[in-house]
Chains A and B, each alone.
Chain A
Amino acid sequence: MHILLLAMRNIARNRRRSLVTIAAVAAGLIALNLFGGYIVNTYAGLKLQAISGERLGHLTIYKRGMLLEGKLHPKRYMFDATESSRLSDIVRSAGGVKLVSPRLSISGIAAASNGRASSIFIGEAMVPEDMAILRGELQEGAGGSLSPGKNYGVAVSDDLAKLLNYKLGDTITLLSSTIDGQANALDGQIVSLFNTGNAATNDKYLLLPLTFAQNLLDTQRVERFVILLDDAALTDSKRTELGARLQSAGFDVEIKTWQELSSFYRQVRGLFDMIFSFIASIVFIIAALSIANTISMTVVERTREVGTLRALGLGKPGVVGLFATEAGWLATIGTFAGLLGTVALALVINNADLSYVPPNSSYRVALLVDLDWVRISAVSMVVIVLALAAAILPSLRAARRGIVDALAHT
Chain B
Amino acid sequence: MLAELERAPARAAVHKHAAIDPRKKLSLPIVNLLGLHKSYKQGHSVVQALQGVDLHIEAGEMLAICGPSGSGKSTLLNIIGLLDEPDAGEMLIDGRRLSELSSRAKADLRSSSIGFIFQSFNLIPVLTAIENVLLPLRLRGKTTSADEARAESLLRTVGLKDQVRVYPDRMSGGQRQRVAIARALITRPMLLIADEPTANLDTENSLMVMELLAQLRSEQDVTCVFSTHDHRILKHMSRIVSLRDGRITLGDL
Q: Which residues of A contact B (CB under 8 A)?
A: 1, 6, 9-10, 12-13, 304-305, 307-309, 311-315, 318, 402-404, 407
Chain B residues with CB under 8 Å of A313's CB are 107, 110-111, 136, 139-140
Interface string of B113-130 (1 = CB under 8 A from A): 000101010101111000
Chain A residues with CB under 8 Å of B78's CB are 404
Chain B residues with CB under 8 Å of A304's CB are 120, 122
A311 pairs with B140, CB closer than 8 A: no
Given A403-B83, A404-B84, check contact A1 B127 (CB 8 Å): yes
B126 pairs with A407, CB closer than 8 A: no
A308 pairs with B124, CB closer than 8 A: yes
A199 to chain B, nearest CB (A): 63
B126 pairs with A312, CB closer than 8 A: no
**Docked pose: A309 CA to B83 CA in angstroms:** 12
Which residue of the partner chain B has the closest CB to A406? B83
Q: Does B135 contact A (CB under 8 A)?
A: yes
Of A304, A313, A404, A407, chain B has the most CB atoms within 10 Å of the CB of A313
B136 pairs with A312, CB closer than 8 A: yes
Complex A-B: 13 CB contacts under 8 Å: A1-B134, A1-B135, A9-B126, A9-B127, A304-B122, A308-B122, A308-B124, A309-B135, A311-B81, A311-B83, A313-B111, A315-B107, A402-B84
Chain B residues with CB under 8 Å of A13's CB are 125-126
Chain B residues with CB under 8 Å of A307's CB are 122
Given A13-B125, A13-B126, check contact A403 B84 (CB 8 Å): yes
Q: Does B131 contact A (CB under 8 A)?
A: yes
B118 pairs with A314, CB closer than 8 A: no
Q: Does B96 contact A (CB under 8 A)?
A: no
The interface size of chain B toward A, counting residues with CB under 8 Å, comes to 23
Other CB < 8 Å A-B pairs besides A311-B110, A313-B140, 13 of them?
A1-B127, A1-B134, A304-B120, A307-B122, A309-B124, A311-B83, A311-B116, A312-B136, A313-B107, A313-B111, A314-B139, A318-B139, A402-B84
Chain A residues with CB under 8 Å of B125's CB are 13
Interface string of B57-95 (1 = CB under 8 A from A): 000000000000000000000100101100000000000
Chain A residues with CB under 8 Å of B110's CB are 311, 313
Chain B residues with CB under 8 Å of A318's CB are 139
Which residue of the partner chain B has the closest CB to A305? B124
Of A1, A318, A403, chain B has the most CB atoms within 10 Å of the CB of A1
The 8 closest A-B pairs by CB, nearest first: A313-B111, A9-B126, A308-B122, A313-B139, A312-B136, A403-B83, A404-B84, A314-B139
Partner of A312, one of B84, B116, B120: B116
Q: Does B138 contact A (CB under 8 A)?
A: yes
**Docked pose: A297 CA to B247 CA in angstroms:** 39
B110 to chain A, nearest CB (A): 7
Chain B residues with CB under 8 Å of A10's CB are 126
Given A9-B126, A407-B122, check contact A312 B83 (CB 8 Å): no
Chain B residues with CB under 8 Å of A315's CB are 107
B122 pairs with A404, CB closer than 8 A: no
Which residue of the partner chain B has the closest CB to A13? B126
**Docked pose: A309 CA to B136 CA in angstroms:** 8
Which residue of the partner chain B has the closest CB to A315? B107
**Docked pose: A305 CA to B131 CA in angstroms:** 15
A312 pairs with B139, CB closer than 8 A: yes
**Docked pose: A404 CA to B125 CA in angstroms:** 20
Chain B residues with CB under 8 Å of A308's CB are 118, 122, 124
Chain B residues with CB under 8 Å of A311's CB are 81, 83, 110, 116
Chain A residues with CB under 8 Å of B122's CB are 304-305, 307-308, 407
Of B84, B107, B126, B140, chain A has the most CB atoms within 10 Å of the CB of B126
Partner of B139, one of A9, A12, A309: A309
Chain A residues with CB under 8 Å of B126's CB are 6, 9-10, 12-13
Chain A residues with CB under 8 Å of B140's CB are 313
B83 pairs with A404, CB closer than 8 A: yes
Chain B residues with CB under 8 Å of A402's CB are 84
**Docked pose: A125 CA to B71 CA in angstroms:** 101
Within 8 A of A (CB), among B173-219: 183
**Docked pose: A312 CA to B103 CA in angstroms:** 14
B164 to chain A, nearest CB (A): 14
**Docked pose: A318 CA to B139 CA in angstroms:** 9
Which residue of the partner chain A has the closest CB to B142? A2
B67 to chain A, nearest CB (A): 17
B137 to chain A, nearest CB (A): 9
A405 to chain B, nearest CB (A): 9
**Docked pose: A315 CA to B84 CA in angstroms:** 15
Chain B residues with CB under 8 Å of A407's CB are 83, 118, 122
B135 pairs with A312, CB closer than 8 A: yes
B253 to chain A, nearest CB (A): 27
A369 to chain B, nearest CB (A): 40
Given A6-B126, A407-B118, check contact A1 B138 (CB 8 Å): yes
**Docked pose: A356 CA to B120 CA in angstroms:** 64
**Docked pose: A259 CA to B124 CA in angstroms:** 61
**Docked pose: A110 CA to B103 CA in angstroms:** 92
A307 to chain B, nearest CB (A): 8
B188 to chain A, nearest CB (A): 14
Chain B residues with CB under 8 Å of A6's CB are 126-127
B73 to chain A, nearest CB (A): 13
Of A13, A309, A403, A404, chain B has the most CB atoms within 10 Å of the CB of A404
**Docked pose: A307 CA to B138 CA in angstroms:** 16
Chain B residues with CB under 8 Å of A404's CB are 78, 83-84
**Docked pose: A361 CA to B58 CA in angstroms:** 92
Chain B residues with CB under 8 Å of A314's CB are 139
Which residue of the partner chain A has the closest CB to B135? A312
B49 to chain A, nearest CB (A): 11
A312 pairs with B131, CB closer than 8 A: no
**Docked pose: A71 CA to B54 CA in angstroms:** 103
**Docked pose: A312 CA to B125 CA in angstroms:** 15
B83 to chain A, nearest CB (A): 5
Which residue of the partner chain B has the closest CB to A402? B84
**Docked pose: A13 CA to B150 CA in angstroms:** 29
A325 to chain B, nearest CB (A): 13
